[in-house]
Amino acid sequence: MIKLDIINEVVSKTGITKTKAELAVETVFASMKKAMAQGERIELRGFGVFNVRPRKTGIGRNPRTGAEVSIPPGRAIRFKPGKELQSIE
């Protein structure tokens, strides 16, 4: 499923115009991106939880030369599905 499929689903379920549905979906995604950029936790009941976790500094290897490469610390987004989502078969 892609973003366009989500927009079309909103249009078919609510009956609003495609332009308004696209704006609504874009607004939700933008809000989620902004919250995660600030390190906030997003909890969607019945769906799951998005967490931003720090990632440690590491040492990797260049596959061509085998030389060690320093990997800088960063942040990673983790998703933990909710119980309802896990029970779907």
Q: How far apart are CA 84 and CA 75, in angstroms?
A: 27
Whether residues 49 and 23 share a domain: the answer is no
Q: How many domains does the chain have?
A: 2
Whether residues 17 and 51 share a domain: the answer is no
26-36: pLDDT as tens digits: 999 999 999 99
Task: Give me the percent of the chain exceeding a pLDDT of 70.
Answer: 99
- In 3D space, the residue among 54, 43, 46 whose CA is nearest the CA of residue 79 turns out to be 43
Whether residues 28 and 69 share a domain: the answer is no
Whether residues 28 and 46 share a domain: the answer is no
pTM of the predicted structure, to 2 decimals: 0.77
Whether residues 70 and 30 share a domain: the answer is no
Q: What range defines the domain where residue 54 resides?
A: 40-89
